Structure 1
Amino acid sequence: MAKSTVQKIQQVAAVALNSAEILLADWLPDGQRQGSEWVARNSARADASPGSFGVSLASGKWNDFADQDAHGGDLVSLLSYLRGCRQIDAAMMIDEQLGLGIFQRAGASSAPPAAPCDMPTKHQQRLRAEAKRLTAQHHAAQAAQRLWQASGPADPAHPYLVEKGIEPYHLRQSAQGQLLVPLYADGKLVNVQCIDSQGGKRFLKGGRVRGGYAPLGKVQAGRQLFICEGWATGATLHAHTREAVACAMNAGNLAAVAESLRERYDAIDLIIAGDDDRVTPGNPGRTAANAAALAIGSLVLFPNWPEGAPGELSDFNDLARWYRQQGKAP
């Protein structure tokens, strides 16, 4: 049965929450996120400064404490209020901007065309792309959680672990034999890195990586927290220092993880443990580590290569394995 117009408006309001911060940054551009709310001036009245007008990023509820008549329960009613148009018009505009297709599907409502309350067309591509990205991340996070829950503890004899000379710690292993490295962001599992027996690595398609990290050990006041690239490097650091480690998974994510952890653990001594890609032009590992350390004002640490260590070795796990092969203690 075709959905009613009211049901379609409700569906748009629900789906729009996935892109709430992007939409609100466009509708109320002088506002900013404060916790779980978007706080801004009320552009529908002569509001001199932000503070009284807030929108929940979690539910879409909005309220102007300076105007008892200005409040609503979702983002559709908010846009209707801001643009002075009907809720059906606001819903259809959001539907078009985010490319949802709710009002274009078979059996769509024959409601009159939307009144001219469109957002600037120059934002359409950006909003649609961002909505698509956030939706993909949401689906990947759900898939990661299902995969993680369906998998058991990693086998210490997994070829990758044996080759790297590391313990599995809290990793899990899928029914297909892949190691699962969990990535967390904002305290939630958002992605997993799958590692096969040959050392091939991949993340879940569309899943979040930026700002996400794989933790090792417990962060404790008065102790150190190392931030590195790969999980094998992190496991090596944790084994030798017994300190907590956050694995950013790649050089390009070091700064994002470092800044996030600095904000979360202001009193913890953060140390960037960088790769040293000595034979790669520009040494991307060292460059990224130095940039991350500079961004948060922390120390940076690199492997101390002994005489005779091959140039292709680049991280702390490489160094530890080389020492073992030489029959020496690192």
Structure 2
Amino acid sequence: MSEVVAKIQRVSRASLAYAETLTREWLPQGSRQGSEWVARNVARGDRASGSFGVSLVTGKWNDFADRNAHGGDLVSLYSYLFGCRQVDAAMAIDRRLGLGVFRWGAAPVTPAAEHSPGSHAPDATDEAHRQRLESLAAEKALARQEAAARARTVWDAARAASATHPYLMSRGVPAFGLRQCRRGWLLVPLCAQGELVNLQWILPNGKKRFLKGGQVQGAYSLIGEPVAGGRLFICEGWATGATLHRLTGDPVACAMNAGNLRAVAETMRAALNGSLDIVIAGDDDRQTAGNPGRQAANDAALAVGAMVLYPKWPEGCPDDLTDFNDLYRWHRARLDAEPVGGDHE
């Protein structure tokens, strides 16, 4: 894991030398304004440029018309525009620039450095690339719309989740508003901008999946209702959020994965006139190189000025536990194992 992250970071740093070349290719209808490339956001179907900008110095990008659309480097920009994972974005940029960070079976492509800064591909190539970007953006937008429509249909047809569902029993938490389909799968609702946009299915054996093409980044599942001036926890998984809500009574926004913590935190920071007392309840991936759970939680907390909280592991606690639900279940198991009323002769 740490080796892959290091390679992504190397590509991110190296790509800055070719920032204008890359942004010109990815966003061909934009233009340079000072140290920024300003374009229309093809990923959400903008018809005119102005709100979407990319720094040609730092690689940071932002869409002022969509608070969930932002990133810190060109790798995340490629990932956003083409709807792929960060590692796939880094590999695509590496191949395009011929950096040699990732190993390839074929010879590397010609580096962008061989092109002069102001050079352009032939007009036909520019047009084909623009059409491809628009086609991908349209497909992505359509997939999200279809997934959101399906989510609403499935959610409306489902019944309230059973308190004895195997997953809930194994995690030791109530359903907290979840629903259950005929197959016995739990349905976790994911919302964005007040609308249901996706569902996470949780099978009785604990396996999880999202609706194909549905929005995940920037979406979240809310347990409880935030109130102005109140405290709000933000965590990764739903079971962790259910545990926090059960023990504290405070509302929880479940981001579903570490990479989504910051986006959800920024959304929640803007909610209720910024009055919420936000606490990032991070996972502690102690046995994973680089501890991505802590890293993501720290980044999210720093971005929005929030507190950050991690499980405190007692002596004798297994090393493979990572989140608050793990700790909660471990404590419950110890209590259940203790004899009632002490020892008797």
**Map of 1:317 onto structure 2:** 325
**Map of 1:180 onto structure 2:** 187
- 1:2-81 correspondence runs (5 A): 22=42, 28-31=48-51
- The Cα RMSD (Å) is 2.4
Structure with greater helix share of residues: 2
Unaligned residue ranges in structure 1 (runs of 5+): 1-19, 37-115
Look at both structures and tell me which one has the larger radius of gyration over its CA atoms.
1
Q: Between the two proteins, what is the percent identity of the paired residues?
A: 50
Unaligned residue ranges in structure 2 (runs of 5+): 1-39, 53-62, 67-122, 337-345
Using the TM superposition, give the Cα deviation of residue 233 of structure 1 relative to its aligned residue in structure 2, in angstroms: 0.1
**Map of 1:211 onto structure 2:** 218
Q: 1:208 to 1:306 in 2, by over 3 A?
A: same
Using the TM superposition, give the Cα deviation of residue 259 of structure 1 relative to its aligned residue in structure 2, in angstroms: 1.0
**Map of 1:139 onto structure 2:** 146
Letter in 2 for 1:280: T
Contact 1:227 1:254 (C-alpha < 8 Å) held by counterparts: yes
What is the aligned counterpart of 1:166 among 173, 181, 184? 173
Contact 1:25 1:31 (C-alpha < 8 Å) held by counterparts: no
Letter in 2 for 1:218: E
Using the TM superposition, give the Cα deviation of residue 22 of structure 1 relative to its aligned residue in structure 2, in angstroms: 2.8
Normalised by the size of structure 2, how large is the TM-score? 0.63
Contact 1:195 1:202 (C-alpha < 8 Å) held by counterparts: yes
Using the TM superposition, give the Cα deviation of residue 281 of structure 1 relative to its aligned residue in structure 2, in angstroms: 1.0
Letter in 1 for 2:296: A
Q: 1:232 to 1:23 in 2, by over 3 A?
A: closer
Letter in 1 for 2:331: Y
**Map of 2:246 onto structure 1:** 239
Letter in 2 for 1:214: S
Using the TM superposition, give the Cα deviation of residue 217 of structure 1 relative to its aligned residue in structure 2, in angstroms: 0.6
What is the aligned counterpart of 2:311 among 279, 284, 303? 303
Residue 218 of structure 2 aligns to a residue in which SS?
A: coil
Residue 234 of structure 1 aligns to a residue in which SS?
A: helix
Using the TM superposition, give the Cα deviation of residue 130 of structure 1 relative to its aligned residue in structure 2, in angstroms: 1.1
Residue 209 of structure 2 aligns to a residue in which SS?
A: strand
**Map of 2:260 onto structure 1:** 253
Choose 121-130 or 239-248, whichever is displaced more. 121-130
- 1:218-237 correspondence runs (5 A): 218-237=225-244
Q: 1:217 to 1:30 in 2, by over 3 A?
A: closer
Residue 134 of structure 2 aligns to a residue in which SS?
A: helix
Q: 1:27 to 1:311 in 2, by over 3 A?
A: same
Using the TM superposition, give the Cα deviation of residue 127 of structure 1 relative to its aligned residue in structure 2, in angstroms: 1.3
**Map of 1:49 onto structure 2:** none
Q: 1:23 to 1:288 in 2, by over 3 A?
A: closer
Q: Distance in 2 between matches of 1:319 and 1:31?
A: 44
Letter in 2 for 1:219: P
**Map of 1:268 onto structure 2:** 276
Residue 270 of structure 1 aligns to a residue in which SS?
A: strand
Q: Distance in 2 between matches of 1:192 and 1:185?
A: 12
Q: Distance in 1 between matches of 2:51 and 2:307?
A: 35
**Map of 1:108 onto structure 2:** none
Residue 288 of structure 1 pairs with residue 299 of structure 2:
no
Q: Deviations over 1:119-148 (max 9, x none)?
A: 944422221111111100100000000000
Residue 299 of structure 2 aligns to a residue in which SS?
A: helix
Normalised by the size of structure 1, how large is the TM-score? 0.65
